[in-house]
Structures are given as structure tokens and as C-alpha cells.
Structure 1
Amino acid sequence: MAKHKHTRKRNKILERKAGTRPGTLAIPTEAYAPRFFLMSFNEHLFEEVELKTYQELLHKVKSQPDARHWIDIRGYADQAVLEQIIQDFGLHSLQMEDVINDYQRPKVEEFDHNRLFIITRMLRWSPEFRTLDDVQLSLFTGTNYVLSLQSDYGDCLDPLRERIRIGRGVIRQRPTMYMAYAILDVVLDYYFPVMADIGMYIEDLETQVLREPSKATLTQILDLKSELVKLRRISWPERDLMNELLRMDEDTIPDSMKVYFRDAYDHAVQLIDLVDNHKEMTSSLVELYMSTVSNRMNEIMKVLTIISSIFIPLSFIVGLYGMNFSRENPETGHVMPYSMPELYEPYSYPILLSLMSTLILLQLYFFYKKGWFRSF
């Protein structure tokens, strides 16, 4: 699933043609058909429904002006619907272009008298492919609604929906800006389980490196390192987004609300610290891999050195006696001086083998006393 989504993102980027008019809505070829979800609530009312058409959704919102609405649209495949949303909610075509070209950096923009356009990124970890899957979530705030748009049908916001259903907390009593905060808070909260999964994966890779390092393990480490670079590229703008919200005027975000965004800002800072920590651990894994492979190579070289050290004197002995200098002149029978007297001695062969075996044992004893066998 994750690999498929990454392919979709690359395709969307490639489909954007250079030189097109700003605000052009280029619908991705693999976009999903839009689905329309609506939550309407206040202190005494709650209604949740999935509507078949955009016109039904708009009629439902206008028929309940005293309620607060979470308008949740998932899927971008209908360009006519997107253009109608621009007209009905007073959006700019450039904003909708950022929505459907959904690999934007997290950001916040203020427009049209204290309304906000917010982009954040929902994050998931794929255990199968060991990759990060990030999906863009776009939010527009209004006086009595929050409009959210995303490319996929599934997201991480079900816990928030459940809180609204059962009336837990103060979401039904607070203004729509609090609902926008609640959405951002849930998105950030889901980053931490992802970081925990990545931390467990790093521990597994460390175990693999120590027990059985291989090129496949190194490839996994380098792939994870690139995923962490991507995560860091997402997490820093998330922190900047929260910082921008904290700096906005009282008319846009009341001071009573800023305490909540300050808490979300602290979560973003913690997230960046975790990302940097995991990134350092991954870099250390590369160094650990190289060190482990080098140590194993040293052990192999030590074994080969011991074997060579044993056979070098043996090779010298057999090479020396392999010269076969004759003791007597075969023509005259005269004994030649400085010849090899051992060639014709009785039991010379077993004596030589015994000498060589004794030499091997002496060398092994010497290596043992030096401690060369302790690391085996």
C-alpha cells in the first residue's frame, strides 16, 4: 500500500506541466471519486451523515446555520465539484491548486477576514514495505465550519470523530477554531506511534548487524535513513505551522485558544527531537555495520594467518628435502661432502613426520599463550 501511494505522489508531480496558468486544477489520473461526510453539532445537537452529492451536503449545511459543521470531503476526481467548492466557500483557485497537488509543505495562510487555510500531513508507517506513507490534509476554517479535504478515504481522525459522537470533551461547546486545533492535534499525536515503530525497527536492525551483517541489512539501514530525512522535512514545517498560529492576531486566534496551539507546538518540537535522535541512531548503525564487518574480516584474516604460520615452516622442510641431492655419485660410488645424510637413513620418513608434528604442536602452544585463540 505504501509503495503504491509513493508511486501516486511521483505521478502527480510529473503530471504538472510547466508554464500552465496559475490556479489551474489538474486532476491526478489516479484520484479517487469524492465522498461527502458531514458532522453537524452544538451543545444540544449532533448529526452525522454521508451524503451522495455535493449539492445535498451544501443544502444540509445551509439548513442548520446555528450548528457547527465539519465538512469532510475525501477524493479529488470531480473537477466540477472542486470548482463549485471554490465558489460556494469563497476560496482562491491557487488554494485549491495547492489542495489537489497534494505534496505541499505544511503551512498556514490567513485570508478573507480571519479565515485560515492550513495544510498538514498525516503520517503512517508501513510495516510491510518499511516506508513512511504521508497524506496531505487541507483545512479551511469559517465562522461555523471547518472544511477538510484529502485525497484518500482513510485517515487518522477516527478518534476525534468518536469524541464528537459521544460528546466527550468540549469540542461541541467550543468555536470552530478549536475543532481545527483538535484535528491538528490528532494528526501530530499519530506521529509518535510512527516514531515508536521506527525505533523498534532500528533495534531490529541493530540486532541484525551484530548477529549477521549482510548487504541486505545495509540496504535497509540506508533506506530507513532516507525515510528519516523525509520525515525531518515534514516535521520542521509542522513546527513552523504551529509557530505561525501562535503569532496570529487576537482577532484570528484568541489568546484563550493559543494555549492549546502552544501545547501542539511543544509536541512538534518533541517530534523533531525524536527524528534527530533516530537519524543519529541510523547513522551509528552504518558505522556499527562497517565496524562489525571489519571485525569479522579481521577474525578471518587471523585464522588464515595462523594457518599460514603453521604451514610456512612445514613447507620449508618439505621443500628442502624435496631437492633430492644424492649422497653418492651414481657413477663412481664416491660419497659427496655436504650432501643430505638423512635421505638413506632408516625410519627417516616417520622421523621427519614426527618432527613436523612436534613443530605444529609447539606453534599452537605458542599461539595459545599469546592469546590468539581467545576471540574465536
Structure 2
Amino acid sequence: MPNNIRTRMDTSKIKPKVLQQTIAANKVGRKPGYLYVPAGSFKPRLFLLSFDEDFYQENEFNTYEELLHFYRQHPHARHWIDVRGYADLPILEKFIADFDIHPLQMEDVINDYQRPKVEENDGRLFIISRMINFTKDKCLDDDQLSIFTGANYVITFQSDYEDCLDVLRERIKAGKGVLRKRPVLYLAYALMDVVIDNYFVVLIQIGEYIEALEDCLFEQPDKKTLNQILNIRREVNKLRRIAWSERDKINEMLRDEDLVPDEDMRPYFKDASDHTIQVIDLIDNYREMIGNLTELYLSNVSNRMNEIMKVLTIISSIFIPLSFFASLYGMNFSRENPHGGVNRLNMPELYHPYGYIIVLSAMGLLVLFQLYFFWRKGWLKWSG
């Protein structure tokens, strides 16, 4: 991979309002099928995998003309034309002209925030899938994979240079299995199957992250942990929307014989549909786990607050009678009356030679009695 490859802009960190305004600014008032190059797009890299049962060749071409020339020189082979990057509008227009791609479909390719779907045009399919990756920032990196099928080719478009399809490229290169023997629709299925299988990898990573968050909740729940729980809930909901759309797309292909006319291919798409159901089941399970984490966080915070309030209540309970003693002997009723007599009932113990020691001892004994009483009741035990 060249050293000058940039990292794709993470659109998941862009505020939805800003993203919508950016897209709308490029589309409002434009005619249908208008093509524009999104800001920050990569320069296209053109790859071609050509193969049949006895032939395989992989090339990266510097120009579109070289790729087209090689493709036309091998009409009997099957071809995977892999385009990564959108920043060259003339190349995209050449694909439209040479491979009979509808401008509206190319518009969906460039505006790569489309939900998974499938369209049919004169026996050729236009399929959109969404590739996902769980980043180090614990967010979903969502990239669109656009697939066009033809008589002897499959064309894929994506905005990034990196993807999850290397395992499929290695399978084609190794020549094992039926990839080189099957028609191009099988290659389109294999692309979708790898994308769906990668969902399981992402779900494993999400599951491990949820377990780590659960451990954090037991050790030291704080607002940072709560924010992480809310963030992963948002990402899981995003993955659920993608998985449901992927399932709907494959089910549509199974229902419509024009989309999958080959009966031999239908079991493969049925298997892909089953995988999407498994993905959705796991996602729903994780959503429930995340909901339990939120409840666990609130419960732990409430328990910690209750423990704090218990300590403060015990301290208050100890000092309330002590405050009573102190306030009682702080009243300072006069011992002598204005007539020179003695008020014998006005706190005579104030003049006892050991009165101060007696009061302090009484207060200390009261504190010890309270602590013993709290201990016997089990109120001094710290449950945190």
C-alpha cells in the first residue's frame, strides 16, 4: 500500500445537522443524476482481478484506458473491477458510458450514505451494501460498497482504500472452492457474504467492549462510564438499522426471480439471509445488555448515594444527643436571684467540682452506646 494513503475522514464524528447541510448544499436544485465530487474524496485507484478456472491475473492500473484495454482483451474471463476513491469525475463518467451505468445509480455511488438496496436494469444488478469497522475510538466506521454486475464482470466502488474484502481476494487468488467456476452473480454474492460475515467480527468486538464496561461499573461507576454506555448504544442502534436494511435487500432478491434467476444461486442468498437474522438477534441481545448496563449504573450510583447518606445519618444521629447536652448546659440560668437568695433548682450541677468531667463522660458513654446499638443492628456495615 503506498505511503501517501490518507486515512478516510470519519463521518461518524460529524454532527448530523452539519452533514445534512453539506449534502443538501450539493443537491438542492440540481437535476437528477447530477454528479459531484464530495469534499475530501480520494483519488481513484483502479484494480482489476481477471480469472477463470485456469487463469488468474491481478493488476493495478494507472489510467482507466489501460484497465479498459486489458478488460476487452480477455472477453472470456470473469473480471472484478475494483474502484477505490471518487475524486476523478471524468473516470466515473467513462464508467457510465462504457458499462451502461445509469447516472442516477452513479449518483447513489458517490453520495455514499445510501441504505442497503438492490436494483435491476436489463438483467444487470446494482447492489449497495455497507461495510463496517469498529475503530479504536469505539465507534462504527461505516463505508458504502456499491456493486454492479454485468455479463462477465462485477464492478465495485468504495470511497476508502482499505476494506474487509482482502479475504475474498485471497480466495480468488488461491483458486480454491467454486469462485472461479461460478458466474459473476456468485462473485456479487461472495462480496455481500464477506461484508455480512464481517458484522460478526464487529459484534464480537462490541461484545468484549460491553463486558469491559460492565466490569467498570462494578469497580468505579462514573459519568465517563455512563457516556461510554450511551455512545455504544448509539453505535449498536446504527448497526441494527444497517443489518435490517441488509436483510430486507437479500429477502427482496429471494422474492424476485428477475434479481436471482439462477435457481442454483438461491440457496446461497438464503444462507446470507440467515446470517443477517443471526446478526440482528445478536444486536438485539446487545441492546438488552446495554439497557441492563444503564440500569446497573443507576442502581450502583443510587446504592453509593444511599451508603453516603447512611454514614451522614449515623454521624448526625451521634451528634444530635451531644448537641442536646451542649445546648442544655449552655442555657446559663442564674444561680442567685436578685434578692440575694439561691435558686437551688437552677442547674446545681454547674457548681459541682466534677460536673464537667461527669458531663463529658456521660456524653462519651452515650456515643459508645449508640455505636454499639448501630453495630448490633448491622448499620455500620459498608456494602460498597
Tell me whether the two structures share a fold, i.e. TM-score over 0.5.
yes
Shift of residue 373, structure 1, vs aligned partner? 1.6
CA separation in 2, counterparts of 1:16 and 1:192? 35
Cross-structure match for 2:50: 40
Partner of 2:318, secondary structure, is helix
Deviation at 1:185, TM superposition (A): 0.5
Q: What is the CA distance between 1:332 and its match in structure 2?
A: 4.6
Contact 2:115–2:245 (Cα < 8 Å) also in 1 = yes
Q: Which moved more, 1:237-246 or 1:250-259?
A: 250-259
How far is the alpha carbon of 1:120 from its aligned partner?
A: 0.2
Per the alignment, residue 12 of structure 2 pairs with 6
Q: Given the alignment, which residue of 210, 226, 229 partners 2:234?
A: 226
Unaligned runs of 5+ in 2: 1-6
- Select which of 95, 100, 122 maps to 2:110: 100
Contact 1:71–1:145 (CA under 8 A) maintained in structure 2: yes
Matched, 1:360 2:367: yes
Please give the per-residue CA displacement for 1:43-80, whole angstroms capped at 9, x wherever unaligned.
11010010111111111111101100001011111111
* Residue aligning to 1:295: 303
User: Partners of 2:295 and 2:320 in 1: how far apart?
Assistant: 36
Name the structure 1 match of 2:125: 116
- What residue in structure 1 maps to residue 97 of structure 2? 87
Task: Identify the residue that residue 375 of structure 1 maps to in structure 2.
Answer: 382
- Does structure 2 conserve the Cα–Cα contact (< 8 Å) formed by 1:38 and 1:48? yes
1:46-195 equivalent positions in 2, closer than 5 A? 46-112=56-122, 114-127=123-136, 129-195=137-203
Residue 326 (structure 1) aligns with: 334
Which AA in structure 1 matches 2:133? R
SS at match of 2:10: helix
Tell whether the 8 Å contact from 2:12 to 2:139 is kept in structure 1 after alignment. no
Paired letter, 2:250: M
Residues 155 and 15 (structure 1), Cα distance of their counterparts in 2 relative to 1, 3 Å cut: farther
Report the Cα offset of residue 214 of structure 1. Answer: 1.0
Aligned to 2:30: 20
CA contact (8 A) 1:177 1:253 kept: no
Q: 1:209 aligns with which of 191, 201, 217?
A: 217
Output the CA distance in 2 between the equivalents of 1:333 and 1:364.
Answer: 46
Structure 1 residues 121, 178: CA separation in 2 closer, same or farther (over 3 Å shift)? same
Q: CA deviation at 1:166?
A: 1.0
Q: Does 1:311 align with 2:342?
A: no
Question: Aligned with 1:190: secondary structure?
Answer: helix
Q: Identity of paired residues, percent? A: 57
Q: CA deviation at 1:184?
A: 0.6
- CA pair 365-68 structure 1, distance change in 2 beyond 3 A: same
**What amino acid is aligned across from residue 132 of structure 2 in structure 1?**
L
Which of structure 1's runs of 4+ aligned residues deviate more than 4 A?
Answer: none
Larger deviation: 274-283 or 343-352?
A: 274-283
Maintained 8 Å contact 2:50/2:79: yes
| Residue 4 (structure 2) aligns with | none
Question: What's the CA shift for 1:2?
Answer: 7.7
Whether the 8 Å CA contact 1:104–1:119 is kept in 2: the answer is yes
Q: How many aligned positions are there?
A: 373
For residues 323-348 of structure 1, what are the alpha-carbon distances to aligned partners after superposition, in whole Å with 9 as ceiling and x for unaligned? 1113223x554111421010000111
Contact between 1:235 and 1:272, CA under 8 Å: does it hold in 2?
A: yes
Q: Letter of the aligned partner of 1:287 in structure 2? A: E
Q: Which amino acid aligns with 2:323?
A: S
Contact 1:2–1:132 (CA<8 Å) still a contact in 2? no
Deviations 1:254-281 (A, max 9, x none): 1111111111100101111111111121
Counterpart Cα distance in 2 of 1:2 and 1:133? 10
Q: Verify: 1:350 aligned to 2:357, yes or no.
A: yes
Q: Deviations over 1:284-334 (max 9, x none)?
A: 2111111111111000000010000001011001100011113223x5541
**Structure 1 residue runs without a partner (length 5+):** none
SS state of the match for residue 119, structure 2?
A: strand
- Aligned partners of 2:237 and 2:325: how far apart in 1? 62
